């Protein structure tokens, strides 16, 4: 499953524009008519929609080349982005069962951002020591807090064809595949990695493409969802 487009809310699109465009160097498009900011990735679009007074914090991830996690960590620290510490005291998190490595940090809105190198994607670069904005390839994950994880899981499965990826439980379920995942968690569950930030039911809009090439528009409000098929 590929997440082609993801739209989230923010109360400070100006600061996010400076961060994603200036610090990370990603292409940015502003739309005065819709009061939105679009971060353009090679394979996805990431949209922040301005909403006065919004104070929620999201958890999302971007795919990077499988062999560039160390270069990504250096890229971020060189730009004074503080990385969250891993259990071994370093900055790179290793997920053996998921065949992936990640680094985590916060953006100016307090969103938990992850760069993830998934070895199942076989997208290794010929220049593993170099990292730039063009290596932030696509939207890998979006975390969604659910009123009832099992109920929302069934709805997503029926409407998009996405199936569980790796382990799942009553409070956690990842739907999709290594290319794109919707991470369902119980409302109030603390976001990994031990951030102290509780998942809350925030508005999310996205366009996903399934393995058959069909696109689905997904809207999630208050932990429940509405789907449209293109």
* Domain parsing of the chain, residue ranges: 2-229
Looking at CATH, the fold of the domain delimited by 2-229 is given as 2,3-Dihydroxybiphenyl 1,2-Dioxygenase; domain 1 (3.10.180)
DSSP 8-state code for residue 223: T
The DSSP element (H or E) to which 47 belongs, if any, is strand 45-50
To which residue do tokens 């807090």 refer? 145
DSSP 8-state code for residue 218: E
Pull the structure tokens for residue 15: 């600061």
Cα dist from 155 to 91, 104, 198, 218, whole Å: 36, 29, 23, 11
pLDDT, one tens digit per residue, over 103-161 is 999 999 999 999 999 999 999 999 999 999 999 999 999 999 998 999 999 988 888 88
Give the global pTM: 0.95
DSSP 8-state code for residue 190: B
Residue 224 reports pLDDT greater than 70: no
To which residue do tokens 């379920």 refer? 173
Contact 10, 30 (CB under 8 A): no
What pLDDT does residue 32 have? 78
DSSP for 54-98, please give it: -----EEEEEE-TT-HHHHHHHHHHTTPPBPPPTTSSS-EEETTT
How do strand 2-10 and strand 45-50 relate by DSSP bridges? Answer: parallel
pLDDT, one tens digit per residue, over 58-86 is 999 999 999 999 999 999 999 999 999 99
How many Cβ atoms sit within 10 Å of the Cβ of residue 19?
Answer: 21
DSSP 8-state code for residue 164: B
Residue 226 reports pLDDT greater than 80: no
Structure confidence at residue 225 as a pLDDT band (50, 70, 90): low
pLDDT, one tens digit per residue, over 10-67 is 999 999 999 999 999 999 999 877 789 999 999 999 999 999 999 999 999 999 999 9
CA pair distance 176, 166, nearest whole angstrom: 10
> Which residue in 38, 65, 215 sits closest to 134, CA to CA?
65
């Amino acid at each position: 499953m590929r997440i082609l487009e993801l739209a989230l809310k923010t109360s400070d699109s100006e600061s996010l524009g400076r961060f994603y465009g200036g610090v990370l160097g990603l292409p940015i498009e502003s739309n005065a008519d819709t009061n939105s900011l679009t971060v353009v990735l090679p394979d996805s679009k990431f949209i922040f929609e301005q909403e006065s007074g919004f104070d929620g914090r999201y958890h999302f991830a971007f795919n990077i080349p499988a062999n560039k996690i160390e270069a990504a960590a250096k890229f971020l620290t060189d730009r004074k982005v503080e990385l969250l510490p891993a259990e071994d005291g370093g900055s790179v998190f290793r997920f053996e069962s998921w065949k992936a490595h990640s680094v985590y940090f916060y953006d100016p809105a307090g969103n938990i951002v992850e760069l993830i190198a998934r070895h199942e994607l076989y997208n290794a670069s010929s220049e593993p020591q170099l990292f730039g904005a063009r290596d932030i390839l696509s939207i890998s994950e979006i975390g969604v807090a659910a009123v009832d994880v099992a109920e929302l899981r069934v709805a997503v499965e029926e409407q998009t064809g996405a199936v569980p990826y790796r382990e799942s439980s009553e409070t956690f379920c990842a739907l999709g595949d290594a290319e794109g995942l919707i991470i369902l968690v119980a409302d109030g569950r603390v976001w990994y990695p031990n951030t102290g930030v509780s998942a809350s039911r925030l508005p999310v809009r996205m366009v996903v493409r399934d393995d058959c090439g069909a696109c689905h528009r997904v809207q999630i409000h208050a932990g429940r969802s509405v789907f449209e098929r293109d």
